[in-house]
């Protein structure tokens, strides 16, 4: 399925950065294929429930954050929430 919205590695990087990870740590995570943990279709389907670009961005970050928390990559403290 094709969506107008696309989740990118920059979105993952933004979430990891907000959680205090350094550029070197993030590079190492991508070297270890952190991006393969993402269910891009699921994230994109969820964010398309919103029409405002800021809401879509916040929702995508929240979804990415939930995956990273579930995988134990970041702590359980939520910084992003669905609008």
pLDDT, one tens digit per residue, over 36-70 is 999 999 998 999 899 999 999 999 999 999 999 99
Report H helices in the chain. 9-18, 23-31, 40-47, 53-70
Q: Is 75 a member of any domain? A: no
Compute the distance between CA of residue 47 and CA of residue 62 in angstroms, rounded to an integer: 10
Mean pLDDT of the chain: 92
CA separation, residue 32 to residues 25, 28, 45, 73 (Å):
11, 6, 26, 12
Q: Is 27 a member of any domain? A: yes
Q: What is the mean pLDDT of residues 7-14?
A: 95
pLDDT bin (cut points 50, 70, 90) of residue 4 is low
Q: Is 23 a member of any domain? A: yes
What pLDDT is recorded for position 3?
Answer: 52
What pLDDT is recorded for position 32?
Answer: 94
- What domain count does the chain have? 1
Q: Is 1 a member of any domain? A: no
Rounded to two decimals, the pTM is 0.90
């Amino acid at each position: 399925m094709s969506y107008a919205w696309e989740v990118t590695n920059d979105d993952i990087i933004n979430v990891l950065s907000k959680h205090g990870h350094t550029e070197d740590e993030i590079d190492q995570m991508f070297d270890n294929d952190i991006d393969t943990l993402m269910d891009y279709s699921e994230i994109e389907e969820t964010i398309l429930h919103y029409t405002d670009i800021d809401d879509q961005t916040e929702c995508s970050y929240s979804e990415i954050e939930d995956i990273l928390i579930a995988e134990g990559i970041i702590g359980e403290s939520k910084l992003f929430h669905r609008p």
